[in-house]
Amino acid sequence: MTTDEITALIGDKNAALLSHTCETVTKDLLHLPSPDFIDKVLSQSNRSNQTLRSLASVYKHGRLSGTGYLSILPVDQGVEHSAGASFAPNPIYFDPENIIRLAIEGGCNAVASTIGGLAMLSRKYAHQIPFIVKLNHNELLTYPNKFDQVIFGSVREAWNMGAAAIGATIYFGSEESDRQIKEVSQLFEEAHSLGMATVLWCYLRNRVFKRADADYHVSADLTGQANYLGVTIQADIIKQKLPANNGGYKMLNSESMSYGKWDERMYTELTTANPIDLCRYQVLNCFMGRAGLINSGGASAGETDLKEAVLTAIINKRAGGTGLISGRKAFQRPFTEGIALLNAIQDVYLDEAITVA
């Protein structure tokens, strides 16, 4: 897509996103994606040469190769949301080979999926596209449903199949989060020791966070803190939902109880209500961009998916983020349309006219 086509797609209502100037924390203070990001930023860390090579294999693959940006296809919904519900719109994805094919033909940097799905095709594809093996899941079959992340496989097996990285989820804010933090910290330490990279799904989960007026699971202040916890346990890449509101700490401290710590300047100086500024607050909490922030593409809404995906990419890129990890919008549609959607996301990051705000 050209700049003009992107502008036409998002419409006049969203055109201001392309010209917004961020006046909170300016871009010169960030560690921005660039062709030499690994050399300038990650090589200063404790990551081993093997881990740096694994990261390079991800950053230097697909249509965004060598740009510093990432486009990743994640398909773990067969466990997380049930295979039937996830793949009914397009049953070919019951076969994990089609998941990998979509990532390859869609020009992605990597494919992220379950240990079983990627293991089944590892000898055929592990050398063709970087694998991100997702090691824990919410199995969603216990009755009544519970929300917890359980480990499904080992770091060693992910390494054996040739994976470039492992992925994991932590439900920050949940009763199980302490255990999950400990488990994932150990997984990440082992992965780094074997030379693999680490990707953390930094999600919030607590019924109290969802209110009648807003869902604070996507509040910039709470998701930002989740990101900070994620990079603290040495995630190389943070996956986070795009912020849709702010003030989670304020809401949780408004009912005669104390929760967390917050400072009014978080809302008056470090961010605004603008979507790009809200996302930039998430980037700040990724050690100012030293760990890349990739925002999730979200659920499929049908005809508006392409527009929503491109808008999310614009917000992430202009905020200083590292890319998009979009699954359902791509695989819950015909194969060729899924490729086109992934390519449209990538076109935003390839477009030099769309700059960091």
Give 278-305 pLDDT, tens digit per residue: 999 999 999 999 999 999 988 888 889 9
Active site residue 124: no
Q: Which tokens belong to 219? A: 């509040």
Per DSSP bridges, beta strands 136-137 and 150-151 are antiparallel
Return the residue matching tokens 């060729």.
Answer: 336
The model's pLDDT over 175-232, given as tens digits with 9 standing for 90+, comes to 999 999 999 999 999 999 999 999 999 999 999 999 999 999 999 999 999 999 999 9
255 — pLDDT class (breaks 50, 70, 90): confident
Q: Output the pTM of the full model.
A: 0.97
Here the contacts of 79-85 (C-beta below 8 Å, separation 24 or greater) are: 79/114, 79/137, 79/138, 79/139, 79/140, 79/152, 80/137, 80/138, 80/140, 81/140, 82/140, 82/141
For 64, phi and psi rounded to 5 degrees?
A: -95, 10
Q: What is the pLDDT of residues 127-167, one digit of tens each?
A: 999 999 999 999 999 999 999 999 999 999 999 999 999 99
Mean pLDDT, range 36-60, rounded to an integer: 98
Q: One of 40, 124, 210, 239 is an active-site residue; which one?
A: 239
% of the chain with per-residue pLDDT over 90: 96
Nearest to 197 by CA among 79, 57, 319: 57
What are 60-78's pLDDT values in tens digits?
A: 999 999 999 999 999 999 9
Tell me the pLDDT of the chain averaged across its residues: 96
**Across residues 348-352, what is the average pLDDT?**
98
CB 146, CB 171: distance < 8 Å: no
Q: How far apart are CA 28 and CA 242, in angstroms?
A: 22
Answer whether residue 22 shows pLDDT above 90: yes
Phi, psi of 223 (to 5 degrees): -65, -35
